[in-house]
Structure 1
């Protein structure tokens, strides 16, 4: 017999068989015979109880499923969801209780089939409720994309995360070939992953998100359960020396090219440090008011622009400055410029060539700029943290 949680199973007790009949009465012998027959006929049927109770329509999903049996032991328990998932579990030593090792998913109908030893299987079903408040994580790079060796796995959450440990535990980043990868929280909404050194060329990266029903903050639950794969391409690291006003591009250990450049002037120095290309535009508009510089410039067709910081540092082509400034004078408002042609279609100029040789995730190192090192959170620039400092930002 299967009962809902809290129901009281029937007990085989007959009225008048209390065993307290007066032996001096003439009916005593018959009464005793009747009691003996009742005891002999009583058969106890195993009673299975499922939590959440059978028929529940809005069951909770933050506690495990439990199955108990009275008047018997459990031979087997199976729990399956209408989404194709199953819940594994374990028995207590007496095999009178089974508990799922994980909680059920939200918004899912589950069927529980419990078989007591020596008795027929008994079934129950329940439906877990949907959480009212949810969050997701948007990740970079894109699934199935190929990036440069500096590209971290960066996740931005739609809600502030209070329980960082629970959320980080639900996310894993694995690689082929294997390397240690550690998470670092830049804020309550941003978690990045990277190894100690740049990724090796050709690395396969798998991001596993198991955020569904993880409580990121009070009453706010994740919804994602998915795996995505990225790849790392060739190794390209470019070094900008603003004392020499040159940029040397190295590809897989060899020098690919050296270009004359122009960096930020004395009033608008360029960030120094390790930066990663996070966006690329064949042409884009750059307007000084968007970076707090008033109306100093507004150029609608800046060629071959590649973003290095969130705050607005780019390495880009420049067709409006004299070719003589490249390699000789730092004249920009903080970006790194290469000689280019209007229209972004002249394949002979440095701006075009560097853009054509680059990809998202490539590393650009700036030195001798006269400016401090860029903040690691300003763009995808966590490489400016030591490995010890990076690991200190993990919640695990």
Structure 2
């Protein structure tokens, strides 16, 4: 090899003894070779990516970096493309080889920085740039994030809709690894595959109040499968407001509303009567409608039967797609606080419904306890995501399924929903 780190170090230290103020390559002012200026490791490091003019690397092949010879080793490799995407990789225990563990992007410009050390511990460095080629034929996997930009409650999940199904576990891992969610304040979270074309993301606990959440995709030009490549995706930014959680005790016929952990209001309510019991569990507010015309026929009740109805309803807050609301029910004020007489919705006086309507937002949480009804489904009828315990939620991730959680075991054993 052409570099001479040992002779460079020796000369530097000799000069250092003569003039301590002189900057000397190859040795730091404290004589520590690890803090020395790196030597050029070009002849010590080899790549499998072509770097010549007009040459392009095959994005289908992993990037490999190897140490040539026996008097040096690789200590670190950083590979990043022009958009700021890092490439994950693995370094062998002996420092002889590093290889990428996720696909390279097609038609991308990469910069690779390799750090080395020789047998005396002197640091070296090599920087390589290269381009990847374009795929000859491809299908594009596009991602659409939800909800829309805005401010939501602390229970709002993030959604990712794919334009094509992804069934293979390895391909799901590629997709999921490229979907990035960050929040300030930080919150531990994970993606969950609802089906082959839809993912939901939620934290272990609810989002922090007044947080900023940003979502983006790094999938563009990343190979996912045979002729399937990642497409562009519009990033998403949402914020959360105060933590607002409404807990309805169906047995006590009462709703208690909490804001940032403090009780702010108790409301007499009526919930579903026997045979139409309100669902237990945590529900996320889906939207608000000042006026809704509710017809029993839309939920399978025959017109003309004793349970049929056709009513104008005001201040309606939706919590399921099948038609469960929190709303004004002036016709049942006499039963509110003492009996359950509705067909599944949570009814209250018009004044209380207006207050609730004006103090609740999409993404806030409505939890029902002590009802004889079935439990809220995790998916398909709104956002029941919080009804899965964290360890069960994690099993829906292609990246963390089956892996142990690093948090406290007692915390992992806790199930949702929880009483407030």
Q: Deviations over 1:79-133 (max 9, x none)?
A: xx9xx8599999xxxxxxxx99987766x6989xxxxxxxxxxxx9998368664
* Partner residue, 1:176: 184
Structure 2 contact 270–341 (Cα < 8 Å) conserved: yes
Quick one: which of 304, 311, 335 aligns to 2:322?
Answer: 311
* Partner residue, 1:337: 347
Structure 2 contact 105–222 (Cα < 8 Å) conserved: no
Q: Distance in 2 between matches of 1:160 and 1:384?
A: 25
* Partner residue, 1:357: 359
Residue 388 of structure 1 deviates from its aligned partner by 1.1
Residue 365 of structure 1 deviates from its aligned partner by 0.8
Moved more, 159-168 or 264-273: 159-168
* Partner residue, 2:166: 161
* Partner residue, 2:390: 387
Q: Distance in 1 between matches of 2:322 and 2:310?
A: 17
Residue 339 of structure 1 deviates from its aligned partner by 2.2
* Partner residue, 1:275: 283
Quick one: which of 200, 205, 210 aligns to 1:202?
Answer: 210
Q: Distance in 1 between matches of 2:85 and 2:251?
A: 63
Alignment of 1:164-313 (within 5 A): 164-214=172-222, 219-295=227-303, 296-299=308-311, 301-313=312-324
Structure 2 contact 192–393 (Cα < 8 Å) conserved: yes
Pairs aligned (count): 305
Return the TM-score normalized by structure 1. 0.65
Q: Deviations over 1:339-382 (max 9, x none)?
A: 22xxxxxxxx1111101000111111101110132121132121
Q: Secondary structure at the match of 2:327?
A: strand
Q: Distance in 1 between matches of 2:58 and 2:369?
A: 56
Return the TM-score normalized by structure 2. 0.61
In structure 2, do the counterparts of structure 1 residues 154 and 101 end up closer, same or farther at CA, with 3 Å as the change threshold? closer
* Partner residue, 1:325: 335
Q: Distance in 2 between matches of 1:308 and 1:137?
A: 26
Q: Secondary structure at the match of 1:166?
A: helix
Q: Distance in 2 between matches of 1:126 and 1:392?
A: 35
Q: Distance in 2 between matches of 1:393 and 1:87?
A: 25
Structure 1 contact 313–335 (Cα < 8 Å) conserved: yes
Moved more, 385-394 or 353-362: 385-394
Q: Secondary structure at the match of 1:324?
A: coil
Unaligned runs of 5+ in 1: 1-48, 67-80, 91-98, 112-123, 341-348
Q: Deviations over 1:126-180 (max 9, x none)?
A: 983686643333323322x111111121223232222321111111211212221
In structure 2, do the counterparts of structure 1 residues 218 and 265 end up closer, same or farther at CA, with 3 Å as the change threshold? farther
Q: Distance in 2 between matches of 1:284 and 1:210?
A: 41
Unaligned runs of 5+ in 2: 1-48, 65-80, 90-98, 111-129, 400-420
Q: Secondary structure at the match of 1:325?
A: coil
Rg (Cα) greater in structure: 1
Q: Distance in 1 between matches of 2:137 and 2:163?
A: 15
Residue 214 of structure 1 deviates from its aligned partner by 4.3
Alignment of 1:367-382 (within 5 A): 367-377=369-379, 378-382=381-385
Q: Secondary structure at the match of 2:334?
A: helix
